[in-house]
Structures are given as C-alpha cells and as structure tokens.
Amino acid sequence: MAHLALVVPAHSYRAEDFLRATASLQVIVVSDADDPVAMGSLIRSSLELDAEEVARVSDILARLGTGRALGVDERSVRFAAALSDELGITQGLAKAVEHATRKDHLRRALG
C-alpha cells in the first residue's frame, strides 16, 4: 500500500525524472502525462481544479489508503492541497495555497 501520492504534471520541469524516481518507491503517481514513465501505480488526471476531478481522484486515493499528496510544482501543489482537503488530511490548505500562489486572490482575501 502506497502512503504517498506524487502529483506530477507532464509539463513540469524534470517531470520525466520525477516519474522515473517513483519506479523504485511505493508511490502512487497522479499525472496528466500522455506517455508516463512511472513504473508504479498511476492515476491519470487532468489535474484541473474542479470539484468533480478532485473528488474522483481523492476517492481512488482513499480506497488505496493513501494518506499524503505532494505536488512538485506550483500547479501540482494546488491540486495536491485540494486532494488533501478532500481526503480530510487538512482543512483549508487548498485556499491557503491558492492565496499564496495567486496574488490576485491574496489581495482579495486581505481586503
């Protein structure tokens, strides 16, 4: 059972290296890669921050007993935070990450 989900967008810097590294680890990879190099468990996802996609992927991760989600770049960190909130690991992390990575959201939050 993998306890970590690594969210790796295909366009990410060194995505191929991240995917290859998972081959020897018990990691579930969540990726939008067309031709993923990952040798372990793979969940294909659009990595879009819509409620249905986050719920679909988090449901799969919950059934697999995954307790952590980690992103490797700004886009995937936002998706991993949304997964963590959906899985009940965190509360409000997705909103905090969104504020930190999108200055327009931070300005609105600060009033």
Q: How far apart are CA 42 and CA 38, in angstroms?
A: 7
Q: What is the pTM of this model?
A: 0.80
The b/e string for 86-97 (b: 16+ C-beta within 10 A; e otherwise) is bbebbeebbeeb
What pLDDT, in 10s, does the model give residues 54-108?
999 999 999 988 888 988 888 889 999 999 999 988 888 887 777 677 777 667 7
At 88, phi and psi to the nearest 5?
85, 10
Higher pLDDT residue, 29 or 56?
56
Cα Rg of the chain, angstroms: 14
